[in-house]
Amino acid sequence: MTLDRLILNNFKNYAEADVALCGNINCFVGNNGAGKTNLLDAVHYLSFCKSYFNPVDSQNIRLGADFFAIHGHYGDDTVSCILRTGQGKQMKWNKKPYKTLAEHIGKVPLVMVSPNDQQLITGGSELRRKFVDGVISQVDHDYLNHLIQYTKALEQRNRLLKQLWDDRLWDDAMVSLWDAQLEMHGAVLFDCRARFIADFMPLFGEYYHWIAGSGEPGSIAYQHDERPMLLQLEGARQADRYAQHTTVGPHRDDFLFSLAADMPIKRFGSQGQQKSFALALKLAQFQYLLNHSGTKPILLLDDIFDKLDLERIRQLIALVGSDRFGQVLLTDTQPGRVQALFHDLPNLEHRLFHVAGGGVEMGN
Q: pLDDT tens for residues 55-70? A: 899 999 999 999 999 9
- Please give the single-letter amino acid code of residue 234: E
Residue span(s) of the chain under CATH 1.20.1050.90 come to 118-289
For residue 17, give the 3-state DSSP assignment: strand
Q: The domain 1-109+295-364 belongs to what CATH superfamily?
A: P-loop containing nucleotide triphosphate hydrolases (3.40.50.300)
With CA atoms as reference, report the closest residue to 70 among 52, 49, 88, 56: 49
Which residues of the chain fall short of a pLDDT of 50? none
What is the spatial distance between Cα 265 and Cα 123, in angstroms, rounded to a whole number?
12
Residue span(s) of the chain under CATH 3.40.50.300 come to 1-109+295-364
What is the spatial distance between Cα 72 and Cα 42, in angstroms, rounded to a whole number?
9
Sheet containing strand 359-362, strands side by side:
110-113, 298-302, 328-332, 25-29, 350-356, 359-362
pLDDT at 261: 65
CATH 1.20.1050.90 matches 118-289: yes
What is the spatial distance between Cα 45 and Cα 27, in angstroms, rounded to a whole number?
19
Half-sphere exposure of 31 (CA within 13 A, CB side): 6
With CA atoms as reference, report the closest residue to 25 among 343, 288, 342, 359: 342
